[in-house]
Structure formats: C-alpha cells, structure tokens
Structure 1
Amino acid sequence: MKVTVELSSLNKDDDKIFGNIYFEENEYAFPEKGWNDFVIIILNWWAKSILKLLKNISIEEELDFMDGPASVKVQYLKNNSFSLYFILNKEVVYSSEVDVELFTKAFLKELNSLIRNIKENRWESEEIYSLMENYKMLQKCFIP
C-alpha cells in the first residue's frame, strides 16, 4: 500500500495546488484512482500525523482527505507495522497492514518527487515551505 501523487495532474490556483492523490495497492485504489484534492494541504496533515506515530506521540492517527467523506485510520502496531483502515462515509471499506519503514520511505519518495516538481515549476507558498520542513523531519526518523 502506498500513497500516489500523479505529478502530471498538478494544477496551481492562487496559492493552492490541486492534483490526483490516492492510496493504492495492486488493483485497489482509495478513495479512487484519479481522486483530485488539495495535494499540499493534505500531505502536510498526513506528514504531521505520521511523525506523531513515529515519535510515539500517538498510536492512532486519521489521514483525512479535504474533499469528500474519505479518510484512512492508521494504527501503530507493536510488530513495527501500521494497520490502515480505509473509511468512506464512516464505514471501513478496506484494510491493510504495512511495514512502518517501507510505508514511510515510499511516502517520502512521493514527497520528494512532488517537491522536485514544485521547484521545477517555481511554485511557492507557505504550505509548500511547510511541506519541505515536514519532509526533512520525516527523513530524520530514518537517518542513523
């Protein structure tokens, strides 16, 4: 299970960046393939939530989408894995267990690609700077 950001879908309107973002595993996509949302805003939320889990500040976080009734509940399990519960209209529609390090490194890879794309486009905003800082903090969790 990984987070996918379709870089070719990114669009900037004022200081907000929209694009396709969703979770995917094999043929399954949540909320759906091509889900369009406020990419930078929700990735900042998710990065902060993942940091709380990695730093043992909490054992459960909610990764919300801005548009629509979709979210992912993440629970930190003792065997160094995350249990992901995909919720649509307050109902669990799918679940997956992922290795914490593999999931987070895949998330960091998506953030890195996004940040590179943003720099190439010379887009700037406070939210983008915040995302870059969150990216750096997440990276530090895996640097020995």
Structure 2
Amino acid sequence: MRIVFESSTLHQSKMGSVTGVVYFDFSPEQRFPVVGWNDFVVVVAGWWLAALNQITRTEGEIVLRFMDGPYWITVVPQEGSKLLLRCTEDRRGAGVVQSMTVDLGEFVREVTGFSRAVSLACAAAGIESADLENLRGLLPN
C-alpha cells in the first residue's frame, strides 16, 4: 500500500486553496478513488494526520475523507498491528468498493510521508496558507 502524491500537480487557486493529485495505490488493480484523483491536498493531509493521531491513541475506527467527491476510507483496527481499510464510494449502487488489510506501521509511515511531502512541496512552490500551518503543526518532529 502506498499513498501517491504527485507534487508536480500542486496548484494554489486565487482563493488560496491548494490542490494536487493524491490517491491510494493498493496494487495495480486496486487504486482509490482513481489514478490521478485531484483533491485539496493540504486540507486532506491535515485531516488524515489528525485521524492518524486518533487511531494511535484509541481502539476505535477512524474515517479518512477526501474533500472533493463522495469518497472515504474507514480504518478499523484488527488484532495485533493490522488495520482493515474499507474504501467507500457514496453513489447509488456503490458502497464499499474495496477492502484490504494493512500493517499499522506501514499505514502510519504512508500518511505521515504523504503529509510531509505536501508540506515540502508547498514550501518549494512558495505556497503559504492557514491550512498549511495547521498541517505543519500536526506533523511529528
């Protein structure tokens, strides 16, 4: 499992929103939402880091939301250091479209790595925003 972030697609709108390509790559046949999914990467990275902090402190499930579109991933702790990821599309007839089990350590590394890559890409592009400051405040040292 990996989270794909394409820093070359980073764009800041006139209103200040920062977008870019981000999606989960579970295997050549399993990607979510889709290859090339463009979303509000700074906001999403902040949400996912905050959720990650929650799952490492509690036993409950968390939800990783995409901002643009009816997509989310429910993360359910399993026995040991495993997590069940349920990828959901909220469209008529869709529901849970993929499920897989991943290692907690791998999941933490991917979410943290994605978030750090977004922060570094924004710095390289000279992008600043309140959402970016929030994201940086959530990043582990």
Q: Tell me, yes or no, whether TM beats 0.5.
A: yes
Q: Which runs of 5+ in 2 are unaligned?
A: none
Residue of structure 2 aligned with 1:107, choices 111, 122, 129 = 111
Name which of 41, 46, 50 aligns with 2:52. Answer: 50
Give TM-score scaled by structure 1 length.
Answer: 0.88
Partner in structure 2 of residue 31 of structure 1:
33
Q: Give me the TM-score of the superposition, normalised by structure 2.
A: 0.90
Distance in 1 (alpha carbons) for counterparts of 2:127 and 2:81: 36
Q: Distance in 2 between matches of 1:50 and 1:71?
A: 14
Let me know the Cα RMSD of the aligned residues.
Answer: 1.4
Relative contact order higher in (CA < 8 Å, ≥ 6 apart): 2
Structure 1's unaligned 5+ residue stretches are 140-144
Equivalent residue pairs, number: 136
Normalized per residue, which structure has more helix? 1
CA distance in 1, matches of 2:52, 2:123: 24
Map 1:1-144; keep pairs closer than 5 Å.
1-13=1-13, 14-27=15-28, 28-56=30-58, 58-89=59-90, 91-136=95-140
In percent, how many aligned pairs have the same letter?
Answer: 26
